[in-house]
Chains A and B, each alone.
Chain A
C-alpha cells in the first residue's frame, strides 16, 4: 500500500465521524496549547528577568575590586589580592576570557561651558572598550591612541546645571522619559569640551580638559552616570590628587572598605568572558583565586533554578492535559475499530496485510495528534499574543518595548508539533494492534 493511499484513506476515515474526530482533536488541541503556553510563560519569565538584569550590567562582565570586605564584627573577609599588572596577566590567561582591562575611578567637579556639575570618571584601557560591550548612540568609542578624549554615559548631562539660572529645562522631565533623545542634555555635550577641576590634599588645584567624543546608550543603567577616559590620563589625575600622601598604605575609608596593599594598584579590573555560561564559572574561579570578584551573572544561577522549577510545574500541568487527550485518542480509536470490525475483516480478506492495517490505524491516530498539534500551536500563538498585549498594558512602557511574558521560540513550536504527533502515534499503538488481531472470519460473520 502506498504512503499516499494510506494517508488518503486515513483522512477519509477521520472525516466519516466528523464530530467525534473534532472532539478528539479538540482534546489534543487543549493539551498542546496548555503545554506550549505554560512553557512559553516559563521562557518569557526567564528572558524578561535576564533582559532586565542586562540593563543593570553586562552579564558577560566580571568586576574585581581592590576592596577587602568586612563582616559585622569588622574582621576582613578573605584577603584582597593586589590589583596590579601581574593580576591583569593572571586573569588574561584564564580560559574563556575575551578581554581584561584594569581601571581607576575618581570623582570631581567639572564644568561644561557655563554649566557646573559632578563627574565620576572611570579610566580604562581604551583599546579594550569595544570588547566590553560599550556602544555609543552618538560619536565613537575610545581607541588606543586617544589622549584626553572622553566618552560619556548617556545620563551624565543631567548632572550639569547653569548656576545663574534657577532651573534647567530638563528639571521638568519625568524620570521615565529622561533617556529619550528629545530631552537628554547629554547629546549636546558630544564634541564639546568639559573640564575637570581637582584639588589635592595639600590644597593645590588643577584643571584637566577633555574632548567629548561619544555618548553611551542611556538605558545601560550601570554605565549611564559615568564618564570613560583612557587609563593613563586618569592615573595622572589620581597621582595628583594623592599628592605626597600617596604612599599611605591601607588607608581605611569611611564606608568599611580598605584600599589594597599599594596605592599604585588599580581600583578595579574588568574581565569580559565569552558567554554567560562561562561568566558564572569564571566569576567563581576568580573568587577562588583570592580576588573580590562580582558579576551580574552570579545571580543568574538562582533565577535559572527558579525558572526551571516554574517551567517544570507549568509544563507538568500541560503534560497532564495532553495525557488526558491521549486517552481520548485511544478511546476514539477503539470505538472506531469496534464500528469498523467488519470493514477491517473485509480488507484483510481481499488482501490487506497486517502492516497495512496497523499503519492505517496508526496514521489515523497520528493525524489526530498532528491536527491537534497544529491547531493548538495556532491557539498558543494567539494566546501568547493576547497575554503579552495585556501584560504590556498593565506594566506600561517602562519595561521596554521587547518585554514579553510569553515567548514561543521556534524550537518550542517544532517540539509541540512533533510531540503531539508522537502522542497520537503512541495512543494509536494499542488500538492498531487490536485491529491487526481481528479475525477476518469473525468480522465477516457479524452481519
Chain B
C-alpha cells in the first residue's frame, strides 16, 4: 500500500529504445525521478528530448525497455495490457495540447466520458459533470459542442474531463501550446488551482520556459537524460 510519505511516482534507471529499421533510437537513456504527492512538476525539453516518451511511459501508454516505474503503488511493467485502461481510469487524468475532445459530444458529455466508461449512471455523472464545469467556469457552455467553443474553452472542458475521476495524478502534454498568451495564463491558473484543490499531482510537459517556471519543480531533458533540475517558490500558490 501507498504511505503518504511515499512518492507517488518512482522511476529508476528508466530506458526506452525504439527500433526504426536497423537503427536503434535511444529515447530515454536512464531516468531516475521521484515525484511526491501533490507536487506540480514541469518537464522541459526540446523536440526529441524524450519528454513525451517519459510522459507516455508514466501514464502506461508505452512500456519501458528497462528500468522500473511505480505509480500509485503499481509497478506498471507488471500491469497487464488489458488492466492498463482500468489503471488509467482510476488514477490518471489527461490534458492534451490539442484538447482531444470528441466532436460529436457536448461539453458536458465530453466531461463525463471517463465516468461513462466506468459505468456510472447518467444522473450521477451529469451532476458531477455540472459541478466540475462550474469550477472551470463553463456553466453557460455545458451543451455546446467543441466546434462552438474557443480553444481556451475547449481546454477548460478537457481540464474538467481530466479532473472528473478525482485522479491521483494529472498528465498535461503542452496544455497551453495552442493558446495565446492571455488564455495561456488563464488556463495555467485554472490547472494549478484545480489540481491543488483536488490534491492531484500535476505533471506537465512544455517547451515554454515561462510556463515551466510556474511549477514547484522543473526538470530539463536532453537526449533522453535529465540534465538539470530547478525548484521554484511561489508564495501565491501556497
Does B79 belong to the interface (CB within 8 Å)? no
Stretch at the interface among A59-67, A103-111, A127-135, A345-353: A345-353
Are the CB atoms of A1 and B102 closer together than 8 Å? no
Are the CB atoms of A13 and B104 closer together than 8 Å? yes
Are the CB atoms of B96 and A444 closer together than 8 Å? yes
Chain B 91-132 per-residue mask, 1 if CB under 8 angstroms from chain A, else 0: 000101110101111000000011011110110000000000
Does B10 belong to the interface (CB within 8 Å)? no
Residues in A neighbouring B118, C-beta threshold 8 A = 351
Are the CB atoms of B82 and A347 closer together than 8 Å? no
Does B85 belong to the interface (CB within 8 Å)? yes
Residues in B neighbouring A351, C-beta threshold 8 A = 85-86, 88-89, 114, 117-118, 165
Are the CB atoms of B82 and A356 closer together than 8 Å? no
Chain A binding surface SS class: helix
Are the CB atoms of B61 and A346 closer together than 8 Å? no
Residues in A neighbouring B88, C-beta threshold 8 A = 349-351
Are the CB atoms of B119 and A1 closer together than 8 Å? yes
Does A447 belong to the interface (CB within 8 Å)? yes
Does B56 belong to the interface (CB within 8 Å)? yes
Are the CB atoms of A441 and B96 closer together than 8 Å? no
Docked complex Cα distance between A273 and B116 (Å): 63
Are the CB atoms of B117 and A353 closer together than 8 Å? yes
Are the CB atoms of B98 and A350 closer together than 8 Å? no
- The B-contacting residues of A in range 204-249, CB under 8 angstroms, are none
Residues in B neighbouring A353, C-beta threshold 8 A = 82, 85-86, 117
Chain A 422-447 per-residue mask, 1 if CB under 8 angstroms from chain B, else 0: 00000000000000000011001001
* Least CB distance, B105 to chain A, in whole angstroms: 8
Known contacts A343-B102, A440-B61; decide if A2 and B119 are in contact (CB<8 Å). Answer: yes
Docked complex Cα distance between A354 and B121 (Å): 21
Docked complex Cα distance between A349 and B161 (Å): 12
Chain A 1-43 per-residue mask, 1 if CB under 8 angstroms from chain B, else 0: 1100100010011001000000000000000000000000000
Does B62 belong to the interface (CB within 8 Å)? yes
Residues in B neighbouring A356, C-beta threshold 8 A = 117
Nearest A residue to B113 via CB reads: A350
The count of chain A contact residues (Cβ–Cβ below 8 Å) is 23
Known contacts A2-B119, A354-B85, A440-B61; decide if A347 and B113 are in contact (CB<8 Å). Answer: yes
- The B-contacting residues of A in range 336-365, CB under 8 angstroms, are 342-343, 346-354, 356
- The B-contacting residues of A in range 308-354, CB under 8 angstroms, are 342-343, 346-354
Residues in B neighbouring A2, C-beta threshold 8 A = 116, 119, 121
Are the CB atoms of A349 and B61 closer together than 8 Å? yes
Residues in B neighbouring A444, C-beta threshold 8 A = 96, 100
Residues in B neighbouring A447, C-beta threshold 8 A = 97-98
Docked complex Cα distance between A95 and B50 (Å): 86
Are the CB atoms of A349 and B116 closer together than 8 Å? no
* Least CB distance, B232 to chain A, in whole angstroms: 29
Are the CB atoms of B82 and A354 closer together than 8 Å? yes
Are the CB atoms of A352 and B100 closer together than 8 Å? no
Residues in B neighbouring A441, C-beta threshold 8 A = 56, 61-62
Residues in A neighbouring B62, C-beta threshold 8 A = 441
Residues in A neighbouring B113, C-beta threshold 8 A = 347, 350
Docked complex Cα distance between A329 and B202 (Å): 43
Known contacts A2-B119, A440-B61; decide if A346 and B82 are in contact (CB<8 Å). Answer: no
Docked complex Cα distance between A5 and B114 (Å): 12
**Most chain A CB atoms below 10 A, which of B102, B119, B121, B165:** B102
* Least CB distance, A10 to chain B, in whole angstroms: 12
* Least CB distance, A350 to chain B, in whole angstroms: 5
Residues in B neighbouring A352, C-beta threshold 8 A = 85, 117
Nearest B residue to A356 via CB reads: B117
Docked complex Cα distance between A356 and B59 (Å): 20
Docked complex Cα distance between A444 and B101 (Å): 11
Docked complex Cα distance between A350 and B86 (Å): 9
Docked complex Cα distance between A373 and B96 (Å): 41
Give the contacting residue for B117; candidates A13, A350, A440; CB below 8 A: A350
Residues in A neighbouring B114, C-beta threshold 8 A = 350-351
Residues in A neighbouring B102, C-beta threshold 8 A = 343, 346-347
Are the CB atoms of A348 and B119 closer together than 8 Å? no
Residues in A neighbouring B89, C-beta threshold 8 A = 350-351
Residues in A neighbouring B97, C-beta threshold 8 A = 447
Are the CB atoms of A349 and B117 closer together than 8 Å? no
* Least CB distance, A19 to chain B, in whole angstroms: 16
Are the CB atoms of B104 and A16 closer together than 8 Å? yes
Chain A 271-309 per-residue mask, 1 if CB under 8 angstroms from chain B, else 0: 000000000000000000000000000000000000000
Nearest B residue to A439 via CB reads: B61
Are the CB atoms of A12 and B117 closer together than 8 Å? no
Residues in A neighbouring B96, C-beta threshold 8 A = 346, 444
Chain B 183-223 per-residue mask, 1 if CB under 8 angstroms from chain A, else 0: 00000000000000000000000000000000000000000
Docked complex Cα distance between A420 and B59 (Å): 41
Are the CB atoms of A1 and B85 closer together than 8 Å? no
- The A-contacting residues of B in range 51-100, CB under 8 angstroms, are 56, 59, 61-62, 82, 85-86, 88-89, 94, 96-98, 100
* Least CB distance, A141 to chain B, in whole angstroms: 67
Docked complex Cα distance between A343 and B113 (Å): 12
Docked complex Cα distance between A35 and B15 (Å): 59
Q: What are 24 A-B contacts defined by CB distance under 8 Å?
A: A1-B117, A2-B121, A343-B102, A343-B103, A346-B100, A346-B102, A347-B102, A347-B113, A347-B117, A349-B94, A349-B100, A350-B94, A350-B117, A350-B161, A351-B89, A351-B117, A351-B165, A353-B82, A354-B82, A356-B117, A441-B56, A441-B62, A444-B96, A447-B97
Chain A interface residues (CB < 8 Å from chain B): 1-2, 5, 9, 12-13, 16, 342-343, 346-354, 356, 440-441, 444, 447
Across the A-B interface, the 7 shortest Cβ-Cβ residue pairs:
A351-B89, A351-B117, A346-B100, A353-B85, A352-B117, A350-B114, A351-B114
Apart from A348-B85, A353-B117, 16 more pairs, CB < 8 Å: A1-B117, A1-B119, A5-B116, A5-B122, A12-B105, A13-B104, A346-B96, A349-B94, A350-B117, A351-B85, A351-B86, A351-B88, A351-B165, A354-B82, A441-B62, A447-B97
